[in-house]
Amino acid sequence: MKKKGLLIVLSGPSGSGKGTICKRFLEKNEAVSLSVSATTRKPREGEEHGVHYFFKTKDEFVEMIEKNHLLEYVHVFDNYYGTPKDYVLKEIELGRDVILEIEIEGAAKVKEAYADAVLVFVLPPSIEELKRRIQGRGTESMEQIEDRLGRSLKEIGCITNYSYFIVNEDVDVAVRELEAIMTAEKDNTRRYLCEIRKEFGL
Ligand code: 5GP
């Protein structure tokens, strides 16, 4: 029986460590594809076009919106971020799992556009630990830290949109939990009812 790939959406506030989980997960699970987003923000040191992001001008990004080339997009932190549609849908059709690491507003839009998406939220272990991680960057003023914390808590408030959550106390454990979620979803009867019926002529 040929199964479609899963579309996994991973979100979490700044300080949750979702980026680290995603990276470690992809190192361990080479068959899973990462969706590379398009953005108008400038590359940071060490970031490569086509690897970390597709870096676009505002005009190029607007053209992608107008041509309906994006599965979702948002305008945050004064920049556009969006998920190229063709790559994601093609991978899923080929039976490959795809992971998106995106913020909450975009995740909600993905769920609207593609109801089969599996939304997973990464939480820090406690509010104290969240504060510690945000402060730990050591480069920001008290006001910036308060602002970041406020934003993180607001994002955690949107957890109701997510089917699963992972508490990131230990990255290896968190990665195993994400693998377990994917394994369970691949055996979800409702998700594959069409394929089962087709296979057995029901
Ligand atoms: P950064 O600028 O630090 O790379 O990313 C800022 C935020 O944008 C992060 O929360 C990241 O997950 C999110 N993000 C990255 N790509 C996309 C995307 O394609 N769509 C949406 N909605 N958010 C994205």
The residue whose CA has the least distance to atom 6 of ligand 1 is 103
Distance from the CA of 79 to the center of ligand 1, in angstroms?
Answer: 10
The model carries a pTM of 0.94
Q: Which atom of ligand 1 is nearest to the CA of 70?
A: 19
d(CA 70, CA 47): 22
Cα gap 99→7, rounded to integer Å: 6
pLDDT, residue 80, reads 98
How far is it, in rounded angstroms, from Cα 198 to Cα 181? 25
Q: What is the pLDDT of residue 13?
A: 95
Burial 190-201 (b: 16+ CB within 10 A, else e): ebbeeeeeeeee
Report how far residue 119's alpha carbon sits from residue 9's, in angstroms, rounded to the nearest whole number.
5
Q: Which atom of ligand 1 is nearest to the CA of 109?
A: 22
* Count of positions (residues) in the chain: 202
Q: Is the CB of residue 15 below 6 angstroms from any atom belonging to ligand 1?
A: no
**pLDDT at residue number 137:** 65
3-class SS at 202?
coil
Given this model, what pLDDT does residue 140 score? Answer: 76
**Backbone torsions φ then ψ of 4, nearest 5 degrees:** -70, 155
Q: What is the pLDDT of residue 5?
A: 96
Flag residues of the chain having pLDDT under 70.
137
- Strands (E) located in the chain: 7-11, 33-34, 38-39, 54-55, 70-76, 79-84, 98-101, 118-123, 164-167
Q: Is 57 exposed, middle or buried (0-12, 13-18, 19+ CB in 10 A)?
A: exposed
Quote the ligand 1 centre to 193 CA distance (angstroms): 33
Pick from 13, 35, 8: nearest CA to 159: 13
Ligand 1 centroid – CA 190 distance (Å): 30
Ligand 1 near 64 CB (within 6 A): no
Cβ atoms of 126 and 88 within 8 Å: the answer is no
Residue ranges of the binding site for ATP: 12-19
Which ligand 1 atom lies nearest to the CA of residue 41? 2
Which pLDDT value is given to residue 128? Answer: 94
